[in-house]
Amino acid sequence: MTGIQKKHHTIITGGAGFIGSHLVDRLLDMGWQVTIVDNFDRFYDPLIKEKNISKHIGNLNCRLIKADIRDLDNLRNVLADEYDVIVHLAAKAGVRPSILAPLEYQEVNIKGTQNLLEFAKEKEISQFVFASSSSVYGVNQNVPWTEEDHVLMPISPYAFTKVSGELLGHVYSHLYGIRFIALRFFTVYGPRQRPDLAIYKFVDNMLRGEPITVYGDGATKRDYTYIDDVIVSIIVSMRYNQTTYEVINIGGNHTVILTELISSLENILGVKAKIKRYPEQPGDVPQTYADIGKAKRLLRYMPSTSITAGLNKFVEWVKSNQRK
């Protein structure tokens, strides 16, 4: 075996989803071994997730395990290899749905995260990257949001579970020396985006000549982050070794008003949006805005895809899918 370099091996929970499948693509291209753990939750069509990773079925460097992160005993049984990193992306997603099913979100997002941390402890996996969310800031008006501002004001069960995941990471980092990097993602978009998310629904409906749904007056602001920039931040975090615990914003460092987003899509599509207005929804925050100074400093993170370029790429992907 002398002279043969051992492949890095990572577990990616939620690896068949939007962000996860892009990460799988990139890591396999880089020569990593990848084990995908995904339960193909029916929050949206599991066939979409199967398609996301279909090209890797049969790849000797990629293994798919259909498992639920709530079942620690099963994880112990099916994950018998040696691993270098866990990238924990799996979660019950969505702010509004979490208000209707808070206990289920707690089971998956908090218990599931603790199970993965317990597994990391038992297997002596020293690097753990956790997908947190900008929703943890809630209605904090001190924008742009910085990690140094510890006044978190989550207003949905989903956001609460992400705060809990960050704190669980701190516990396991302190007690067991696991390096825990929590990445607070700000409105990630791009090809393979979940079909329930706003940009996807806007583009799909506008192309079909159907009305789009807008909650409130359209004045909400979001810090959008293109998928390619997010993947770079995760890969760098998988190698980060300077400190044992960090919480880091991953955003675009730029806000876009909802009405401006719709106008941009109208220009790209050459279609005038038909709008149906509804009252603002519980759990929605008026704005998100990331201070990415820490990400620049620790991860050399610099988002390179403008909102215009990102929307154009996404629209082309949607059109391609519709043709197929």
- Reading the block at residue 96, the tokens are 């509004």
Start-to-end CA span in the chain (Å): 46
Q: What type of residue sits at position 39?
A: N
Catalytic residue list contains 226? no
The phi and psi torsions of 114 (rounded to 5 degrees) equal -65, -40
| CB within 8 Å of 320: residues ≥ 6 apart | none
Nearest alpha carbon to residue 10 among 120, 104, 121, 170: 120
β-pair partners for 35: 11, 63
Within 10 angstroms of residue 29's Cβ, the number of other Cβ atoms is 8
3 state DSSP class of 104: helix
* Catalytic site residue from 83, 105, 158, 226: 158
Q: Which residues are catalytic?
A: 158
